[in-house]
Structure 1
Amino acid sequence: MNDVASCPRILVVDDEAHLRELLEITLIKMGLDVDSAENLAIARQQLLKHSYALVLTDMRLPDGSGMELVQEVSTLYKNTPIAVITAFGSADNAVVALKAGAFDYVSKPVALDQLRKLVRSALQTNEVQKEQQAAPAKLASTFNSFLIGQSQGMQEVRLQISRLARSMAPVIITGESGSGKELAAREIHTISARSAKPFVAVNCGAIPENLMEAEFFGYRKGAFTGAADDRDGFFQAANGGTLMLDEVADLPLPMQVKLLRAIQERRVRKVGATVEEAVDVRIISATHQNLAICVEEGRFRQDLYYRLNVIELHLPPLRERLEDIVELSSSILKKLTGTDITMSSPAIDALISYDFPGNVRELENILERAIAFANDGCIEVADLALRGTRKLAEPFLLPVSNVDAVVHSRPVMDAGFPADVFTAPDLPCSLPEYLENVEREMIRRALSQTKNNRTQAAELLGVSFRQLRYQIQKLKIQE
């Protein structure tokens, strides 16, 4: 395959001669080299001969479907963006193509201004991709503290964000509150070709329903009482960049209809205006709700769901990536203080044993509060104030079957161990204290049997290593 010429080269695939000619003339006037093909066979031959900055293909071809070419280019020429030309009103075809890996789409009759924007965006994406390949360390350093960590889940999230940044397809980000959905959307924008343009985040649940249309699409002077001047909406403010619709499930149904049209037509009409205006916006949505269930319950339009849910990015909750706690905490502390502040080992263990219902946002709040209480630049367990919602706030219990076996077993005399620790006490008694004594004794026995190998002891007790380490410290067991 030959190297790309000094001018970026574009491949146009369409069986309509007059449309091919129009596209060729438009692209040549943009200073680009253009090859054309009237069918799939010729397009495949051209791809073997040249490297292309963009492939632009019609969906209907004499010897097959443009979807075949989308899949082939996405698989065999991963660094080559491919865009599709869809028939008027065939938004479903565009969605299918985007899901298959298409960079973007343009509808017939082809609007030349939209075509030029698409081509420029593809060329910018190529440049950004080259920069990232030349300096991968720089790319890795752009991820904010919410998205760092070496757990498998976060590695997959970062890889997917890098891929999503090379596409213009709509993305929906799912995850629990506090998991970093807006920050993930910002990362997609920051490392994309749209990074120089605005990123506008909108909380759909915070806008009064009677103001939604004006807020999203803008309004003309005098359109309603209080409209003293013309004003742009969110779409105009994000033109050329990214519009994030946070908590999109909270949109009322009437607004969902208008939003669907704006996304499909890529045009909006201000309140009080008589004409529509073109907008170039990439849509990223986010929600902590299950949109599929919202569709089933009639609270969310199926056609809008299908349009927004082209690619899904799921952010795992913090409790599923506790191995990232140390790295996350270090990054957050550095961001909050700008100086080195340490955490004691018991404090770290306490964080690892916490289930974080508020996810990374809660971790940041906990550490920010702990900084204020910490003495001598070291955060201790008490500074974290985790009481009440810790996973292990209640006495740590062995599995019921194990406890039953222990309580009903005969006392065993081991050197240094009391013989009656498992004997049920007379009532009334302190159940937490009794269970702590049982737990302490079982941990001691496991450690003795494994010669203080905590990993093996944890296996004997049927608990995780982190749980065992936390309980050793909590119960003040001397090894």
Structure 2
Amino acid sequence: MAHILLVDDEKNYRIILTRLLEAAGHRVSAVENPFAALELLQREDVALILSDLRMPKMDGMEFFQAVREQHEQLPFIILTAFATVETALQAIKSGAFDYLTKPFKNEEILVVVEKALDYSRLRTENDLLRRQLELGAGRELLGSSPAIRALLDHIARVGPAPTSILICGESGTGKELVARALHRASARRQGALISVNCAVFSETLLESELFGHERGAFTGATERKRGLLEMADGGTLFLDEIGEMSLGLQPKLLRLLQEKRFRRVGGNAEIACDARIVAATNRNLQEMIAAGSFREDLYYRLNVVTLTLPPLRERAEDIALLALHFLTFYARKLGRPVQGIAAETLQLLQRYDWPGNVRELQNIIERGVLFSRAAELLPEDLPLSLRETDSGGGASPWQTADFSRSLPERLEEIEADLVRQAMVKARGVQAAAARLLGISRSNLQYKLKKFGLMES
């Protein structure tokens, strides 16, 4: 069912078209002039506009231009008499979807309306897909260790429920993969899975991203924007790094969880939202509650069910399976001949402490495949820092004289090793790791991405 706005100053046409479209299963708002239509558009979302061309005070072309200023992508169908077809064609050149000449056949109207709605749905789906592709994909939740088998069992049990879920684990353990698995296991699998990293945005921008905003809500808000919550309605909203959400925004998320309703920024209308909330964090929220930086009531609303991801160092038996999966993926993607992993290479991978967890393993395998010239991944295909260190201790990159590489390469490996060690010492908390290194958090995030240590 779509919400269609019908604008025509002729009462008979409004009655006939309303009955026709409602019989086809749509919701219709019929008004007699563009001024009433523009007022309605300020209060409600519509999927399609059907508008007469000749109307007093404001004609269909003026109305179309006014709509375009605020809702550029909204499909617009013009209803016109034969004598004004040329004007209707000009509107199509300006972006109108189509036109229909009066009198028209019912079947013709329904066909054009369905085409316009299909176009609108396709554009929305493409926008969602583009958002998700920008966040990164290409990994699987793989493993045969007891910890992973227990996790998969828990996902199967709680996935079908509408309950809010909190996913805990170090950076790089695959918290977004768990969110995807929960979405696929739910009755909402046909709906959208929308992901947002709370650490990426300022409080103001995150509020606008989540809740949307009305035109004029703030400087630069030139048109109404639907938020991620509206896009996730009937699906799942994944809030990554929830511990980074500001105290000012937390009450608004709490209200959403309690009442399943929210307001856009700058708006007064209550909008219902049936999105399942899945949150994730690599921080200790209970410590944050004690420190006054996270609301206790929000924590208990999110923490109905907690799923904890073990770090990769605690499930060494999964390393071979994951490494082979990534090797197969990147060999195909990069067109490289490597087909397997040498025994000594696998031993190095299993001895390493993996402070960056699965994401770091993925990055190292991708790099190894890129440099490999043999049928198997060899130790020399791995970074020097991994070959010279293991979980039981050993030489750091700067403690071994190796002149096979240039000074810039060696310095980059030393820097990567220091970043890894800082993240381990800080237990994955970026702010603490940045303080240890004496750099800003934004600089640390740049380096984590550069060295493949940041969870996507």
Higher relative contact order (CA 8 A, sep 6+): 2
1:185-334 equivalences under 5 Å are 185-334=179-328
Distance 1:389 1:291 in 2: 32
Whichever residue aligns with residue 148 of structure 1, its letter is L
What is the one-letter code of the residue matched to 1:301? R
8 Å CA contact 1:172–1:284 kept in 2: the answer is yes
Instruction: Decide whether the 8 Å contact of 1:387 with 1:393 is kept in 2.
Output: no
Q: Deviations over 1:421-474 (max 9, x none)?
A: xxxxxxxxxxxxxxxxxxxxxxxxxxxxxxxxxxxxxxxxxxxxxxxxxxxxxx
Does structure 1 conserve the Cα–Cα contact (< 8 Å) formed by 2:168 and 2:309? yes
Aligned residue in 2 for 1:356: 354
Q: Contact 1:172/1:286 (CA < 8 Å) preserved in 2?
A: yes
- Counterpart Cα distance in 2 of 1:144 and 1:370: 17
Could you tell me whether the CA contact under 8 Å between 1:356 and 1:362 is conserved in 2? yes
8 Å CA contact 2:262–2:273 kept in 1: the answer is: yes
In the alignment, is the contact (CA less than 8 A) between 1:146 and 1:360 conserved in 2?
Answer: no
Equivalence for 2:146: 152
* Residues 199, 250 of structure 1: alpha-carbon distance in 2 compared, 3 angstrom cutoff: same
Partner of 1:369: 367
Q: Is the 8 A contact 1:176 1:317 kept in 2?
A: yes
| One-letter amino acid matched to 2:370 | A
| Equivalent-residue separation in structure 1 for 2:140 and 2:370 (angstroms) | 21
Return the alpha-carbon distance in structure 1 between the equivalents of residues 260 and 208 of structure 2. 17
Q: 1:150 to 1:144 in 2, by over 3 A?
A: farther
Q: How much has 1:211 moved relative to structure 2?
A: 2.3
Question: How big is each residue's C-alpha offset from its partner over 1:322-366, in whole Å with a ceiling of 9 and x where there is no partner?
Answer: 011111111111222237611111000111111100001000001
**Identity across matched positions, percent:** 43
What SS class does the counterpart of residue 147 from structure 2 fall into? helix
**1:389–1:278: structure 2 CA closer, same or farther, 3 Å change rule?**
farther
Q: Would the aligned equivalents of 2:197 and 2:239 in 1 still touch at CA under 8 Å? A: yes
Which amino acid in structure 1 is aligned with residue 227 of structure 2? G
Alignment of 1:55-204 (within 5 A): 145-204=139-198
What amino acid does structure 2 have at the position aligned with 1:233? Answer: G
Match of 2:63 in 1: none
Whole-angstrom CA distance in 1 between matches of 2:298 and 2:155: 23
Match in the other structure for 2:378: 380
Paired amino acid for 1:289? R
Instruction: Return the alpha-carbon distance in structure 1 between the equivalents of residues 304 and 282 of structure 2.
Output: 17
The aligned counterpart of 1:342 is 340
Corresponding residue number in structure 2 for 1:394: 394
Question: Counterpart of 1:83?
Answer: none
Q: Deviations over 1:34-83 (max 9, x none)?
A: xxxxxxxxxxxxxxxxxxxxxxxxxxxxxxxxxxxxxxxxxxxxxxxxxx
Change (3 A) 1:358 1:278: same
- C-alpha contact 2:388 2:394 (8 A) present in aligned 1: no
1:263-284 deviation line (CA, Å, top 9, x unaligned): 1110110122221110110000
CA distance in 2, matches of 1:389, 1:280: 49
Question: 1:214 & 1:350 partners in 2: Cα distance?
Answer: 46
Cα distance in 2, alignment partners of residues 306 and 254 from structure 1:
18
Aligned-partner residue type, residue 177 of structure 2? L
- Equivalent residues of 1:267, 1:279 under 8 A apart: yes
Partner AA of 2:351 in structure 1? S
1:100 maps to what in 2? none
Moved more, 202-211 or 242-251: 202-211
Please give the per-residue CA displacement for 1:257-315, whole angstroms capped at 9, x wherever unaligned: 11101111101101222211101100000000011111111110000001000000000
Cα displacement string for residues 225-244 of structure 1 (whole angstroms, at most 9, x for unaligned residues): 21111111111111110001
Checking the alignment, whether the CA contact within 8 Å between 2:235 and 2:275 is kept in structure 1 is: yes
Deviations 1:81-112 (A, max 9, x none): xxxxxxxxxxxxxxxxxxxxxxxxxxxxxxxx
- Paired with 2:279 and 2:177, the residues of 1 have a C-alpha distance of 12
Contact 2:338–2:377, Cα closer than 8 Å, also in 1? no
2:212 and 2:161 map into 1 onto residues whose CA distance is 27
The two structures have a TM-score, normalised by structure 2, of 0.54
**Partner SS state of residue 220, structure 2:** coil
Gaps of at least 5 residues in structure 1 are: 1-142, 396-479
| Secondary structure at 2:349 match in 1 | helix
Runs of 4+ aligned residues of structure 1 deviating over 6 Å after TM superposition are none
Distance in 2 of aligned mates of 1:222 and 1:388: 58
| Number of equivalences | 253
SS of 2:278 mapped into structure 1: strand
Residues 1:389 and 1:298: Cα distance change in structure 2 (over 3 Å)? farther
TM-score (norm 1): 0.51
**Please, which moves more after superposition, 339-348 or 193-202?**
339-348
Q: How far apart are the structure 2 equivalents of 1:347 and 1:318?
A: 17
In structure 2, runs of 5+ residues without a counterpart are 1-136, 396-456
Q: Give the partner amino acid of 2:281.
A: T
Deviation at 1:151, TM superposition (A): 0.7
Distance 1:388 1:210 in 2: 45
- Distance in 2 (CA, whole Å) between partners of 1:277 and 1:392 is 55
Letter of the structure 1 residue corresponding to residue 382 of structure 2: L
Q: Secondary structure at the match of 2:194?
A: strand
* Distance (Å, rounded) in 2 between the aligned partners of 1:295 and 1:203: 20
Letter in 1 for 2:271: E
